[in-house]
Chain A
Amino acid sequence: MTRIGRWIGSHLVLTGGLLVLLYMYIPNIIVAIMSFNDSSGARNLYAFQKFTWDNWLNPCKPDNLCSSVVTSIEIGLLATLGATVIGTFAAFGLVRHRFRGRTAMNLVLFLPMATPEIVMGSSLLALFVAAGLGGQLGFWTILLAHIMFCISFVVVTVKSRLAGLDGNLEQAAADLYANEWQTFWKVTFPLVFPGILAAALLAFSLSFDDFIITNLNSGQTVTFPMYVWGASQRGVPMQVNVIGTLMFIVALAAVIIGELGARRRRKAIASR
């Protein structure tokens, strides 16, 4: 009896967990369904009217939609590049080197993650206005802000990868007469690379999806989230759901390909 009870108990937790997971997908499912909705001539934009392929065939039909996606991708790529380079340097500095001010630096890196976006966004706006840049808000101010809040997340991700690194491997390389530079490029960097890649992916998705900070510092520039926000006041074109579903598919594919690649590499190393 107790064994049956325990069996049900353990599967109860798993079932509950799967239900929570399902709950997290409800909006994605709705978005995917609505991407096939023909909303032309409909008064109620929040109900499924008629099936159509049109939205998928003409995703750029609504004015400014695709240009806002392009803007977001440009900012996202530049912010990812900037934050990943700056953040990876900082992670190496913090894990591999001992110096005064390390604790303070750790605190300063932690704070952006613990500050409400509205506070960060409004203080940046206060700075830009005080610096006389109030009229020049746009692409560049958004980029500066995005790099700022992505750095902390990159540092945390790369740091955890570096901290979990087996120091013996570098020691072994040194024993085999590799100099510091060779050890770094042949041993350390390849081992840390997955962490850097994960950090870059995180930075891109944070930048691409940011709304609160961007909205305060964007001037006339329209990123994709700002387009969606503006459209939500009038009625969102169904093509937005296409973009949303597409992003989901592309990101998932990237993660799966990355995971498969890592698995194959592990197997290759194991069979050597």
Chain B
Amino acid sequence: MIATARKRTGYLLILPAAVWLAIFFVVPFYSLLATSLFDPEGSVLTGYDVTWHFANYWDALSEYGTVMLRSLWYAAIATFFCLILGYLLSYAIAFKAGRWKTVMLVLVIAPFFTSFLIRTLAWKMILADDGFVVNALQAVHFLGDDGRLLATPVAVVAGLTYNFLPFMILPLYTSLEKMDPKLNEAAADLYANPFTRFWKVTWPLSLPGVVGGTLLTFIPAAGDYINAELLGSPNERMVGNVIQSLFTTQGNYALAGALSVSLMVIIVTMVLVYVRRAGTEELL
């Protein structure tokens, strides 16, 4: 009797969330799928028909395949740099910060209260052609005299790395924080040098954080178009830019839908393969 009542309370408690997500998250996927099979001849004014026009997918991928690959590639490089920077900082906070731990954690999150568009525009200023960074790199002949950073892949990847770094740091920190420092001491007692200790003890124990962090960085980075738009040129266009402009300015819903569904399918496939290879299925 009590058990059934509690069960009912459980359902009642999750009901609003379930309904909301069903209407505004699950059903829209269906709409997107339907949109991707529209007759491309339709428009917002004349209306669309689902004509099972699978050719949309062929058109989308043949026309924007390179853009798609470029997005995944940029996102992968940015994720790699985020992992290195994020690991260093999370490790320092978890094991070296002592009583400054909380302060440093707050300091990690604080910069992100300034709108990310404004911060990305600040990077545009920093990397600008006459800016300090470009002048310094030219002085040491790392860049040619007319070399630039803005509107290059370097700027876009740097922007992605910067913007998604906290998504890497928080899961990494959480898993490092849980680690018992005694394990490291034990390894040291057994004559493991610092390098071995890191590879055999710390790194394997932080894997859940690594997997979580790389996913939370890679997925939004692959779909981002702000960095490519503000810091890149049309040569650095990412798949997000294309979907956005197909939807809003060109009104080609069918192609945009097909591209959007393709991005989702590719990402889900990659995530499943990755999580399985890393042996951390329980994360999902």
A residues with CB within 8 A of B:
9-11, 13-14, 16-18, 20-21, 23-28, 30-31, 34, 44, 46-47, 85-87, 89-90, 92-94, 96-99, 105, 107-120, 122-127, 129-130, 134, 144-145, 147-148, 151, 155, 205, 208-209, 211-212, 215-216, 224-225, 228-229, 232, 236, 240-241, 243-245, 247-248, 250-252, 255-256, 259
Q: How far is the CA of A228 from the CA of B120 in the complex (A)?
A: 11
Can you pick out 22 interface pairs between chain A and chain B where the beta carbons lie within 8 Å of each other? A17-B93, A17-B104, A20-B92, A31-B118, A47-B130, A93-B13, A108-B21, A111-B25, A116-B219, A116-B222, A118-B243, A122-B257, A123-B32, A127-B28, A127-B31, A127-B32, A205-B112, A211-B116, A215-B244, A244-B119, A247-B114, A255-B109
Taken together as a complex, chains A and B put the C-alpha atoms of A13 and B169 apart, in Å, by 15
CB < 8 Å neighbour of A112 from B25, B128, B226: B25
Q: How far is the CB of B206 from chain A (nearest CB, A)?
A: 14
Pair A17/B220 contact, Cβ less than 8 Å:
no
Cβ-defined contact, B96 with A10, below 8 A = yes
Q: Does residue B223 face the partner (Cβ distance < 8 Å to A)?
A: yes
A245 with B114, Cβ < 8 A, contacts A21-B107, A97-B13 known? yes
In which size bucket is the chain B interface? Answer: 35 or more
20 further interface pairs, Cβ-Cβ under 8 Å (given A116-B224, A255-B110): A17-B96, A20-B86, A24-B162, A24-B166, A27-B118, A31-B114, A46-B124, A86-B16, A89-B16, A99-B10, A108-B22, A116-B264, A117-B220, A118-B224, A120-B25, A211-B117, A216-B248, A240-B118, A244-B118, A247-B115
- 9 tightest Cβ-Cβ pairs between the two chains A and B: A116-B223, A17-B92, A97-B10, A93-B13, A251-B113, A123-B28, A27-B122, A123-B32, A90-B17
A212 touches B225 (CB 8 A): yes
| B97 interface residue (CB < 8 Å to A) | yes
Of A21, A47, A123, A228, which is within 8 A of B31 by CB? Answer: A123
Beyond A93-B14, A114-B271, A122-B247, whether A17 also contacts B89 by CB under 8 A is yes
Contacts of B260 in A (CB 8 A): 118-119, 122-123
> In the assembly, what is the distance between CA of A151 and CA of B14, in Å?
11
Q: Is A13 in contact with B284, judged by CB distance below 8 angstroms?
A: no
**Complex Cα spacing A124 to B56, Å:** 20
Specify which chain A residues have a CB less than 8 angstroms from the CB of B183 in the assembled complex: none
Q: Which residues does chain B contribute within 8 Å of A118, judged by CB atoms?
A: 223-225, 239-240, 243-244, 260, 263
When A126-B257, A211-B226 are in contact, do A229 and B117 touch as well, CB less than 8 Å?
A: yes
Contact B89 A209 (CB under 8 A): no
> Quick check: A110 and B284 within 8 Å, CB to CB?
yes
Nearest to B118 among chain A residues (CB) is A244
- C-alpha spacing A259/B91, complex, angstroms: 23
| Interface residue? B69 (CB, 8 A) | no
Question: Closest chain B residue to A236 by CB distance?
Answer: B121
User: What 0/1 readout, one digit per residue, does chain B (202-225) give for beta carbons within 8 Å of chain A?
Assistant: 000000000000011001101111
Are A248 and B110 within 8 A (Cβ)? yes
A75 to B117, CA, bound (A): 18
> What CA separation (Å) do A225 and B118 show in the bound complex?
8
Q: Is the CB of A46 within 8 A of B24?
A: no
Chain A residues within an 8 Å CB radius of B34: 126, 130
| Alpha-carbon distance between A17 and B108 when the two chains are bound, in angstroms | 11
Give B58-116 interface residues, CB cut-off 8 Å to A: 85-86, 88-89, 91-93, 95-97, 102, 104, 106-116
Counting chain B CB atoms within 10 Å of each CB, which of A44, A109, A114, A123 scores highest? A123
Complex CA gap A144/B28 in Å reads 12
A158 to chain B, nearest CB (A): 11
Interface string of B221-249 (1 = CB under 8 A from A): 01111100010000000011001100110
Q: Does B136 contact A (CB under 8 A)?
A: no
A17-B92, A122-B257, A245-B114 given; A89·B13 CB < 8 A:
yes
- Kindly state whether residue B256 has any CB partner on chain A within 8 Å: yes
Task: Tell me whether B28 and A151 are in contact (CB under 8 A).
Answer: no
Q: Contact: B91 with A216, CB < 8 Å?
A: no
Q: Is A148 a contact partner of B225 (Cβ separation < 8 A)? A: no
**B144 is an interface residue with CB less than 8 A from chain A:** no
List of A residues within 8 angstroms of B123 by Cβ: 27
**For window 123-154 of chain B, which residues contact chain A by CB distance below 8 Å?**
123-126, 128, 130-131
CA distance A86 to B24 in the complex (A): 14
* Interface of chain B residues 3 through 29 with chain A (CB within 8 A): 6-7, 9-14, 16-18, 20-22, 24-29
Cβ distance B242 to chain A, nearest Cβ, rounded Å: 10
Q: Give bound CA distance, A105 to B17, whole Å.
A: 9
Q: Is B165's beta carbon under 8 Å from chain A?
A: yes
A151 touches B20 (CB 8 A): yes
- Cα–Cα distance between A122 and B177 once the two chains are bound (Å): 38
